[in-house]
Structure 1
Amino acid sequence: MNTILKASLAHLNEFAELFDQYRVFYRQESALEKGKKFLEERITNQESVTFLIKHGDKFVGFAQLYPLFHYKALQRQWLLSDLFVDPAYRGRGFSIALLDKCKAYCDETDACGLLLETEKTNIIGNRLYPKCGFELDQDHNYYNWWK
């Protein structure tokens, strides 16, 4: 049985473990306690919305959304910043279920849609997103400024 829950402080330990695995997947050093503090702040300050997927009694993945506002639609848009499923549980539809929950949340919050970005080398994600109705933006370049 699979269940999707909105993350709260009650889920912080399990969420932090998954988040640390996610960061390591993207070649970051493990920083469990620092990540846990980061997530606690996001939840406490209501700066993100995260859905956790539970398989049996174990949390196996998450999707984290941050609010944006779209200038053309004049509506909220959600940035799907992070999507992760434990490698031992991949290929079972958990990512698709999380994406469907995020789409439903757009309806619940009257948002115009989801925006996401992933590395060009993320083969799994770059196959998954088009299959789930996401369109690759060929018209825009995305730039980052880091201090």
Structure 2
Amino acid sequence: MVRATSEQLNAAALLFASYRQFYGLVENQTESKKFIQERLEKQDSAIFIAYHQQQACGFVQLYFSFSSLSISPTIILNDLYVPISHRQNGIATQLMQHVKKFAHDGGYSGISLCTPSDNHKARALYEQAGYQIDNQFVYYFLNLK
């Protein structure tokens, strides 16, 4: 597991582009690479890449936030992706464990994430890792694009 820097830009951008395609978005390699490069330069996210035999085989991208109610920093697990060719090898589980350790060691009070309700494999992964559906708050989104 490696925290991405400019040295891992190409690997991170390629995984990110594949992740976006997984969600049905038209791929634009240039825009994906630019987006990831900006995240790395501005250090406004943390990207971890899993490797197997020197090949990038999965990534997770985290954003940093705060909880006013608990008066503490939190993490938003925004992106997690393992290409089909590397699935069923425990890579997603390893990424999730790494995120949990990173958050714990960094003093974050929690990790939030969302996934489509019909993404049953992801939901099973998250629930196996101890994540619970939040029945206290309702998630809203205002689309501006």
**Aligned residue for 1:102?**
99
1:10 aligns with 2:7: yes
Deviations 1:64-105 (A, max 9, x none): 000010122211100000000011111111011001110111
For the residue of structure 2 that corresponds to 1:79, the secondary structure is: strand
Q: Which moved more, 1:5-14 or 1:135-144?
A: 135-144
Q: Structure 2: where are the runs of 5+ without partners?
A: none
Q: How does 1:1-147 map to 2 (within 5 A)?
A: 4-147=1-144
For the residue of structure 2 that corresponds to 1:102, the secondary structure is: helix
For the residue of structure 2 that corresponds to 1:119, the secondary structure is: coil
Deviations 1:105-143 (A, max 9, x none): 112210001100000111110111100110111232211
When the two structures are aligned, how many residues end up with a matched partner? 144
- Spell out structure 1 runs of 4+ moving beyond 6 A: none
Q: Structure 1: where are the runs of 5+ without partners?
A: none
| Structure 1: distance between partners of 2:44 and 2:86 | 28
The one-letter amino acid of 2:92's match is: S
The one-letter amino acid of 1:51's match is: F
For the residue of structure 1 that corresponds to 2:75, the secondary structure is: strand
Identity %: 30
